[in-house]
Structure 1
Amino acid sequence: MALEDSTTSPPGRLRHRTVSAAVAESLRQRILNGELAPGIQLRQDALAEEFGISRIPIREALLQLEAGGLVKIVPHRGAVVAGLSVEEVEDIFQLRLQLEPPLLALSAPRFTRADYKGLRALTEEYGAALEAGQIERWGELNRRFHLDLLRHAARPRSLSIISGLLQDCDRPTRLQLSASGDVARADREHTQIVALCEADKVGEAAELLHAHIAHAATSLIEIYRRAHAD
């Protein structure tokens, strides 16, 4: 997968910045779709050989990924793909279980027709991405759906916390869906939550949201524990 790094490219620093951005984007997609798993070491010499370029843009690309939280620079190991521990995953989902269902109970009674139209469009887009195997889109669409469910709760601090939690569990959620085969279940439950809200069954919708998050947590923690046991 050689990238242009010849004398025909823009000179000096500009060339390195252009090539490093392309390398960073390639590695970012491989990390986000699970091809490069947490803990994998990203060796500069191996990457330079793979991309057919010098180590300078590789080093710059890894620094970009570190700034984005996808890579950690570890003493004596170099760059490794960042990931969450089992304990961190448990903590994230426990917080989501505590925060999201009550906020849905506050938000759903304030939904407008436009809100329901937007939520249904998101569920359709999410379902299409799941069916097409567009793994890189699952996390962002899932995050948007959950935040839109809670948008009218009038609890900005809580929503800010949830937004960060959803961002943190973006990759783990995609791992859970891919490894467990729960894509159809996730799609179905999203649709059911919206339908319950629209039918003015907000309590049932909040209960289903709790079960939805709890199932994802249980499934993902099991996957993480199996991986650590291997």
Structure 2
Amino acid sequence: MKSSKKFETRDGEIRADLRRRIIALELPPGTALSRQQLQEQYTLSSTPIRDALLQLQEEGLVAIQPQSRTCVTLIDGEQARQAHFLRSTIEREIASRLARTAGPELHTTLDRLIRLQEDVSRHDLYLFAQLDQEFHEELFIAAGLEHVHDAIRRESIHIDRIRALHLPLGDKTARILDEHRRIAEALRTGSAEQAGTAMTQHLSQSIGMAAELRRLHPNYFAA
């Protein structure tokens, strides 16, 4: 029983690492995944690799063709658009609600995350993106909507990869930081309208760039 538990934990670590690499575009859309190479990279047998890939297929991040090949899925622009609509609608309402109800603990947490993002913005884009997600997750937690957050995260795989394409461009990290500061300030001052508007503007940036990103990376997007 002890070894089985360790084995299950290791499987989860493999899935999480592959997921991270796909979302961060270390494994770009369309990349063929060799199970043999993955076994060598992770120094594991075929079974945990197969199980990790099956879980990623359930998430929509890989496509497994029996007796053929496994590859990273292309970015689905329509699914990204619908996920953005869902997220934007809900997070605008959360921001407006929290402007009326949030306590000092949330303000302290958001300020801490903004400072951490400032520290890593120029040298670790993946960590910057993780802190961005944590910033938004704290809003869901403060609103008592953790399960809603989990559901939205499951639907956000395509928009996450669009954001990974967008993040290195121009002054994107600086703009995210400025938008986070505006959201935090609106929450602090109790302005529900400003908080909702700031959130909507913040979440619209990457989806608004989708057409341009498709032009720059046509092979990454589904037809």
Are 1:172 and 2:162 matched, yes or no?
yes
Q: Give the structure with higher Rg (CA).
A: 1
Q: Determine which structure has greater relative contact order: mean sequence separation of CA pairs < 8 Å that are 6+ residues apart, divided by chain length.
A: 2
- Which residue of 26, 37, 45 maps to 2:28? 37
Deviation at residue 228 of structure 1 after TM alignment: 2.7
CA shift in 2, pair 1:24/1:201, >3 Å: closer
Which is worse superposed, 179-188 or 115-124?
Answer: 179-188
Are 1:118 and 2:109 matched, yes or no?
yes
- Which residue of 197, 213, 219 maps to 1:223? 213
CA shift in 2, pair 1:99/1:178, >3 Å: same
The one-letter amino acid paired with 1:200 is G
Backbone CA RMSD of aligned residues: 3.5
Match of 2:75 in 1: 84
Counting only pairs closer than 5 Å after superposition, residues 1-230 of structure 1 correspond to structure 2 as 27-45=18-36, 51=41, 57=45, 60-68=48-56, 69=59, 70-75=61-66, 77-135=68-126, 137-153=127-143, 158-166=148-156, 169-179=159-169, 181-228=171-218
* Deviation string, structure 1 residues 104-157 (Cα, Å, up to 9, x no partner): 11122111111100111111222323222241x234322221122243445566
Deviation at residue 169 of structure 1 after TM alignment: 3.5
How many aligned positions are there? 213
CA shift in 2, pair 1:29/1:58, >3 Å: farther
CA contact (8 A) 1:105 1:202 kept: yes
**TM-score normalised by L of structure 2:** 0.75
The one-letter amino acid paired with 1:184 is A
Runs of 5+ unmatched residues, structure 1: 1-12
User: How far apart are the structure 1 equivalents of 2:14 and 2:145?
Assistant: 40
CA shift in 2, pair 1:165/1:100, >3 Å: farther
CA shift in 2, pair 1:84/1:152, >3 Å: same
CA contact (8 A) 1:72 1:79 kept: yes
CA shift in 2, pair 1:160/1:120, >3 Å: same
CA shift in 2, pair 1:52/1:94, >3 Å: closer
Deviation at residue 85 of structure 1 after TM alignment: 0.6
Runs of 5+ unmatched residues, structure 2: none
User: How far apart are the structure 2 equivalents of 1:19 and 1:189?
Assistant: 38
User: How far apart are the structure 2 equivalents of 1:107 and 1:71?
Assistant: 37
Deviation at residue 186 of structure 1 after TM alignment: 0.8
User: How far apart are the structure 2 equivalents of 1:66 and 1:195?
Assistant: 43
User: How far apart are the structure 1 equivalents of 2:8 and 2:95?
Assistant: 44
* Deviation string, structure 1 residues 49-103 (Cα, Å, up to 9, x no partner): x7497xx725632431431434331245421113431111111112222221122
**TM-score normalised by L of structure 1:** 0.73
Between the two proteins, what is the percent identity of the paired residues? 21
SS of the aligned residue for 1:178 comes to coil
CA contact (8 A) 2:100 2:191 kept: no
* Deviation string, structure 1 residues 188-227 (Cα, Å, up to 9, x no partner): 1111210122122231121111011111211234313542
Deviation at residue 185 of structure 1 after TM alignment: 0.7
Deviation at residue 43 of structure 1 after TM alignment: 2.4
CA contact (8 A) 1:42 1:79 kept: yes
